[in-house]
Amino acid sequence: MSHLFAHLARMKLIQRWPLMYNVRSENVQEHSLQVAMVAHSLAIIANHKFGKSLSPDRAATVAIFHDASEIITGDLPTPVKYFNKEIEAEYKKIEAIAENRLLEMVPEEFKQEYASLLTSENADIDYKVLVKSADTICAYLKCLEEDRAGNSEFNTARKRLEQSLSNNPDPAVQYFIDCFVPSFKLNLDDINQLL
């Protein structure tokens, strides 16, 4: 018997942005779905526009599991996680322990397939980087949504994420931002009028 999927089902109970006032709360499960959709798109963009040969399906699958260890660790806020190099290094150790704990729950015959999904040390670097970019885009989109709702709590995070995205060397990221992000600054009526 494996408890893996009973644990994964609890992703919906882990709230993101725990130190921030949220107009609308976001959980790890819904965040992971959005990251998967963006990662899938980034792979398609990279392939069609920039000569890469990534699997959009693999990118989406990696993204689905990218925060699975938070079932054990919770979502540690970025200002805490990166407060200093010592805390960051220790958190990486905690994260690795949590990832390996999840991998231990996988039946032996499937561990090889799940190792690259559940543990950073076994992740394919190309997909890890792509999913990190998708994760950053989704965090930025959350900031835009909160801003549109009149919540200034996310302004500093938005600026930090804008800088991070502008420094991202992947041209697929900039393409995604130019093509898809402006709509997040519009209301539903404006979006519908553009169709």
pLDDT tens for 35-50 read: 999 999 999 999 999 9
The confidence score (pLDDT) of residue 188 equals 86
| Residues 113-144: tens digit of each pLDDT | 999 999 999 999 999 999 999 999 999 999 99
Q: What does the alpha-carbon distance between residue 169 and residue 166 come to, in Å, rounded to a whole number? A: 8
Are the beta carbons of 80 and 100 closer than 8 angstroms? Answer: no
Residue 72 identity? I
Among the ranges given (18-32, 83-97, 138-152, 170-184), the one the predictor scored with the smallest mean pLDDT: 83-97
Q: How much is the pTM?
A: 0.93
pLDDT surpassing 80 at residue 80: no
Q: What does the alpha-carbon distance between residue 171 and residue 39 come to, in Å, rounded to a whole number? A: 14
pLDDT surpassing 80 at residue 112: yes
87: confidence class by pLDDT, cuts 50, 70, 90: confident
Comparing C-alpha atoms, which of 61, 34, 35 is closest to residue 118? 61
Are the beta carbons of 67 and 11 closer than 8 angstroms? Answer: yes
Residue 98 identity? A
